[in-house]
Amino acid sequence: MSRHPLALRLETLDDDVKLANYINELLSTDPRRVREVRNLIGDTSRSGYRRVHEHLAATLDRLISELEVGSGDLRGSLLSLSKALILIEYQLARKQISEGLANILIDIVRKLMSDISKAMESKESTKSSEELKKLLKGKAERARTIIDCLAVLVYREKR
């Protein structure tokens, strides 16, 4: 199976410049990009994406907020992200979201779950732990930006 031209590159969650470039690609008015976006959105329904977006956005917002105040309940975030993964797969199976869109969301969730698991396993110093939480917060904020951008595309395409 070949990757969609607008498939998420995981390093996008690590860097603001890469995120900005990816968002610009998604929102481009270039006719070729517009066709690629239409193909990416496919038969996604507004309500199908909205259900996924609501759960994932709430999970990311909670994670960001907890990491800001230093209380980061990473176990709770893992559980919520696991539920989001199930919801994405469920909406894909019901053909409520396209495979390309589902793959982007799944990549985001799995990357965050992996990074959270690594942060939980880290036995390093408190300073390193704080740095990990800061990096995680940035990734969660970038993920939130991407899912919001995808919501714009779904709503734009499915008027």
pLDDT at 2 over 70: no
Specify if 132 maps to a domain. Answer: yes
Residue 71 has pLDDT above 70, yes or no: no
End-to-end CA distance of the chain: 30
In contact, 138 and 115? CB cutoff 8 Å: no
- Identify whether 29 is part of a domain: no
**Overall number of domains in the chain:** 1
- DSSP, collapsed to helix, strand or coil, labels residue 13 as helix
Q: Which pLDDT belongs to residue 1?
A: 47
CA 119/CA 127 separation, integer angstroms:
12
The continuous run of DSSP H or E covering 43 comes out as none
Q: Which residues are within 8 A (CB) of 34 and not within 5 positions of it... i.e. 6 or more apart?
A: 28
Q: Which of 113, 135, 138, 110 is nearest to 124 (CA)?
A: 135
Residue 119's domain comprises 47-157
For the stretch 116-157, pLDDT in tens is 888 877 755 455 677 888 899 999 999 999 999 999 999 998
In a domain, 1, yes or no: no
CA separation for the pair 18, 2 (Å, rounded): 22
Residue 19 lies in a domain: no
Residue 24 lies in a domain: no
- Looking at the domain assignment, is residue 18 inside a domain? no
Give the model's pLDDT for residue 74. Answer: 82
Q: Is residue 116 part of a domain?
A: yes
14 domain-assigned: no
pLDDT, average across residues 15-21 = 96
Q: For the domain that residue 131 is a member of, what is the CATH number?
A: 1.20.120
Q: What is the pLDDT of residue 25?
A: 94
